[in-house]
Structure 1
Amino acid sequence: MNEPQDPEVRSLDARSLRGLAHPLRMRLLDALRFGGPATASRLAEKLGESSGATSYHLRQLAAHGFIEDAPERGKGRERWWKAAQQGLRLDEALLADAGPEVRGAADTYLHEVATAQTRDLSTWLGNRHTWSQEWNRTWDLSSATLMLTPELTQELIEKMHALVETYRDRAVDEGDAEAARVRVHTRAFPLSTE
């Protein structure tokens, strides 16, 4: 699928994929992408990890260009980090790479993405009582099973992504009291008939 290049979306190559494909690194990157700049100690507290492990993995993310210093936030010796991009794109070719290390990193990456999406949903379900009645009426957890060819499935995926993109331009100001970040997960995959 040929998508327009977005400077906020980074395409993963074999080297960067190996640098990212670790559960804590992916959680740290998501925390910075969606929660804004933070220090290693703040991230450690938020994620329930040690500061040492968090610092090490932040340095690895920086070495691979996923995060960068946020000097405008730092005071004294505190080192603040921020995400360098807001999105990631995985090239399908990495899933069939000749090197088992690259294929393993791609598998780890995909499983961690699925785990993060499941964690997002579980967090919403566990905390939805803290949200307004309006938000409790405005969410979706549905599925559909269709009989499709690979071509029709690709068409459906492209149309879903295009629809979501139309709402990016309609996004409201973060200062709007009624606004919240809304996570949209899409999944389309064949089911075994056995």
Structure 2
Amino acid sequence: MEEAYKISDPQVLKVVAHPLRVRLLGLLRSDGPATASELGRRVGESSGSTSYHLRELFKYGFIEEDDERRDGRERRWRARHRYTSWNSRELTGTPEGREAVKIMRLRQAESMTRIIHEFDESAWSPEWVEVAGVNDHFFQLPPAALTEFMARTEEMLRELEARYAGTPDTPHVHVWVGAFPRVPKEER
């Protein structure tokens, strides 16, 4: 699997920003190859609906057929990239690009909300219950500081993943990092 799908076309970002496509792509990335029927059961959609959206993801290069695990009756699909990225400054140069970035940010927030809602404390050890959650910090920082923070955070997460590889009780973990400037009080 390739590392990243870097998007520079707002139309392509809008393709993946569809709510069902975001979920399907996320499931293929986190759970591995699956058929349209398997994915349909996971998301509560018909296999016809999931098939259509999988074909759209395929058409734009987000997923590919998994020939290694081919099911005789149905195609198995797998993600081509670990994650999707884009440069917001580049994409927001047009109204279409601003709309696509806004939609994708909202899809990310929806995904985070769904995962928080699905987290069941009774199903996890006390150690997991203690560390699971979201923090809300408030700092005064320039764009350069946030750029550095994002880069160092990703570097640290990759280092920790490598260090703890193979450790028992090591599931996939959703980690969100986000920052937005706050509108000054006098402008609210």
The TM-score bracket by the shorter chain reads: 0.7 to 0.9
| Alignment check: 8 A CA contact 1:95 1:107 kept | no
Aligned length: 184
- Distance in 2, Cα, partners of 1:47 & 1:159: 34
Q: Does structure 1 retain, via aligned residues, the 8 Å contact 2:7–2:85?
A: yes
Any unmatched runs of 5+ in structure 2? Answer: none
User: Which residue of 2 is the match for residue 16 of structure 1?
Assistant: 12
* Matched-pair contact (CA < 8 Å) for 1:94–1:106: no
Mapped pair 1:93 → 2:84: no
The CA distance in 1 between the partners of 2:83 and 2:59, in whole Å, is: 18
- Which deviations, in whole Å up to 9, do the C-alpha atoms of 1:138-194 show, x marking residues without a partner? 334322111223333333333323322321322423xx5422112211111112223
TM-score (norm 1): 0.85
Please point out which of 172, 175, 178 is paired with 1:181: 172
Aligned residue in 2 for 1:141: 134
Q: Which residue of 2 aligns with 1:164?
A: 157
Which amino acid is 1:45 matched to? R
Give how far 1:56 is off.
0.3
1:154 is matched with 147
Residue 107 of structure 1: aligned partner: 102
Aligned twin of 1:60: 56
Name the residue aligned to 1:123.
118
After the TM superposition, which parts of structure 1 deviate over 4 Å for at least 4 consecutive aligned residues?
Answer: none
Give TM-score scaled by structure 2 length: 0.87
Which range moved further: 103-112 or 155-164?
155-164
Give the Cα–Cα distance (whole angstroms) in 2 for the partners of residues 77 and 7 of structure 1.
27
Q: Identity of paired residues, percent?
A: 35
Instruction: Tell me, in whole angstroms, the C-alpha distance in 2 between the residues paired with 1:159 and 1:24.
Output: 32
Q: Please give the residue correspondences for 1:66-81 in structure 2 after superposition, counting only pairs within 5 Å.
A: 66-81=62-77
Change (3 A) 1:155 1:75: closer
Which amino acid in the other structure matches residue 179 of structure 1?
A: T
Map Cα deviations across residues 15-45 of structure 1 (whole Å, 9 max, x no partner): 4323212111111100100011111011011
**How many angstroms apart in 1 are the aligned matches of 2:149 and 2:80?**
31
Once residues 153 and 84 of structure 1 are traced to their aligned partners in structure 2, the CA distance between those partners, rounded to angstroms, is: 29
Q: Deviations over 1:108-162 (max 9, x none)?
A: 12211121122222222xx121112232233343221112233333333333233
